[in-house]
Chains A and B, each alone.
Chain A
Amino acid sequence: MYTQPMEMARHSAPAPRTSVRTEAPPVDMARFLTMVDDDPKILREMATMYLVESTELMNGLHAALETGDIPEAERLAHKLGGSSATCGMLGIVTPLRELELSGKARNSQENEKLLKEADRQHERICAYLVDNVLSH
């Protein structure tokens, strides 16, 4: 079960850093703030909602790919990609979009690689939200 980011959110603790590469922040805060009209209360509400929703969808995505349910995997990747883009969680959008496409091609090796990247980006997003939104 893929639950680590939600656990992190519950305890409001910084995420373990798994990568030392210099990457763009996983969250486009300008877009996120635009969406909530710069309201700090709504920002926290949406960050929490994203953590809950995205973790549930990532769990579903893992389960769908493990059981070979490609249509369901495509649906979940599409849905999470959409809500991530809406909130400015840009880091995860590319692997999810690609996962949608490679899912269509039934390429399990490629799917696995993209799922791993989506997991990594999801962890980065959750850690970012905990550090920069929820712990303030």
Chain B
Amino acid sequence: MKKILIIEDDALIARAYGSKYGSAGYETQVAEDGEAGLALVQTFKPDLVHLDLGIPRVNGAEIIRRIRAQPLLGALPIVVLTNTYQNRMVKAAIDAGATRCVSKATCTPRMMLEVIDKLLSRGPAAQASAAAVPPTSLEPESKAPTAPENPPAVEATDDLAEEIIPVPHDETPSLAPQTLPAPAETFTRETERHEVFHARIHSEFLKRRPELLAALYEPLEPLLRAEDEEVRIRGLSQMCRAADRLASHSGLAGFEAASEMAGALAALLRELVEGPSEISASTLRTIVDTCDSLRESPRFTEESANQPAAPPVVLVVDDDPIARRAICLALARINVAAISVDGPVAALGLLAENKFGLIFLDVQMPDMNGFDLCRQLRTIHPNESTPVVFVTTLSEYESRERAAQVGGNDLIAKPFLPIELAVKALSLLRPAADPSA
């Protein structure tokens, strides 16, 4: 039996993946921090390491470096689960020798299992099963539970996790080739198990969601009141962990859009912890708005789970080519396409003929200022209700008030952090399945 070491500090997530791997015939052990993980690499001797980059005590990249420093472990596959928006952490992991990096927001346990099966190139059983998986299997999983899941191969230490995974021992799959059913039958059974597994995790997440959101909100008020930088950094760090946790759990349950938003929020919070000089009224407001958006989000409704977001196009209007490029680069981080124009005249032409998902406007532009353009576009079909965010150096209270008066939805102060702009865009763009859209 091949062995997988899961280095993950969130017990529930570790349990969910452990169960998934266990039901597929792998032996697993869990380490809750980096030091424990490194110790288990020596004693458990895994064939593969599943590593969460945001692990406490020894960070993910350092764990990989230390493993790779051992001559016998140079080829040990290390699959890293990451927050898509924490690019520097991902690059550090790749530089340290990670075998594969997968996004928490878009990778379900089923996909992770497929990645692991391929990396470990298992025997005929896994190959038969893998051959039956259609090429579209990397699409998000569907619901509709029909059959029970197999037992977890990890020791139970978490009551909730025990509830997630039912334990019908007689259904444990054998990896012996002679006991295998035909590939098509294997595929059907595997699909059913995946569906049951997913439905249980999904349902447990919805139960647990208020607690995860409460953890996100808890440090918020003290943070907003704090004048001392140390207190602020402590609050931001606490929020960052909570946002990361929310991203992991919602991603695991298949709420991709919510997971992306929480992940981007975690990345913004981390940037502010590392560069507190960037803390401003604008960034704090973005944090509050994003928390509210996550709390009230239709992204957490049953209908929106596992529904891919629509591909919205964003319009950027700014007479400064550097600002235009900077905004488009920030949007590219969240895979959002943007069209940019250098002034209101060009913008008005586009607005009359195209529906945009979101509009970023500079304020001070020649010919017509951004406030007037916003007032005008509120009368232009089909963009009467398209969200408008002003991006401007005029960030004073009066500008915010004026922005609201002309129909603007928000305002970001220049110079902006790209991740702040990305977070703002994510919270304003509506996924296709949004029932309120």
Contacts and interface: CB of A to CB of B under 8 A. Distances in A.
Interface of A: 30-31, 34-38, 42, 45-46, 49-50, 53, 75, 78-79, 81-83, 85-88
A82 B321 contact: no
B364 A35 contact: no
A38 B91 contact: yes
A38 B87 contact: yes
A78 B418 contact: no
Interface string B265-288: 000000100010000000000000
Contact of A79 (B88, B320, B415, B417): B320
10 contacts: A31-B415, A38-B91, A45-B325, A49-B322, A50-B322, A79-B320, A83-B320, A83-B323, A86-B326, A86-B416
A53 B416 CA distance: 19
B415 A86 contact: yes
A35 B329 contact: yes
Interface residues of B, number: 22
B319 interface: yes
A53 B319 CA distance: 11
Most A CB contacts (10 A, CB to CB) among B325, B364, B393 go to: B325
Contacts of B200: none
A37 B322 contact: no
Contacts of B323: 82-83, 86
A81 B320 CA distance: 11
B66 interface: no
Nearest to B393: A82
Contacts of B418: 34-35, 37
Given A35-B418, A37-B87, A78-B393, 8 more contacts: A35-B329, A37-B333, A38-B87, A46-B326, A49-B325, A82-B415, A83-B322, A85-B414
Contacts of B417: 34
Contacts of B326: 35, 46, 86-87
Given A30-B275, A49-B321, A86-B414, A36 B329 contact: yes
A47 to B, nearest CB: 11
A74 to B, nearest CB: 10
Nearest to A31: B415
Contacts of B319: 79
B408 to A, nearest CB: 18
A37 B322 CA distance: 15
Contacts of A49: 321-322, 325
A42 B322 CA distance: 12
B413 to A, nearest CB: 10
Given A82-B323, A86-B323, A37 B329 contact: yes
Interface in B64-115: 87-88, 91
Task: Give the secondary structure class of A's interface.
Answer: helix
B421 to A, nearest CB: 10
Contacts of B366: 75
A79 to B, nearest CB: 6
Given A82-B393, A83-B320, A83-B323, A75 B364 contact: yes
B321 A53 contact: yes
3 residue pairs, one from A and one from B, having the closest CB atoms: A85-B415, A83-B322, A86-B415
Contacts of B91: 38
Interface in B319-377: 319-323, 325-326, 329, 333, 364, 366
A53 B414 contact: no
Contacts of A83: 320, 322-323
Interface in B404-432: 414-418
Contact of A87 (B271, B275, B322, B393): B322
A37 B321 CA distance: 18
Contacts of A38: 87-88, 91
A82 B87 contact: no
B391 to A, nearest CB: 9
Contacts of A53: 320-322
Contacts of A75: 364, 366
B320 A82 contact: yes
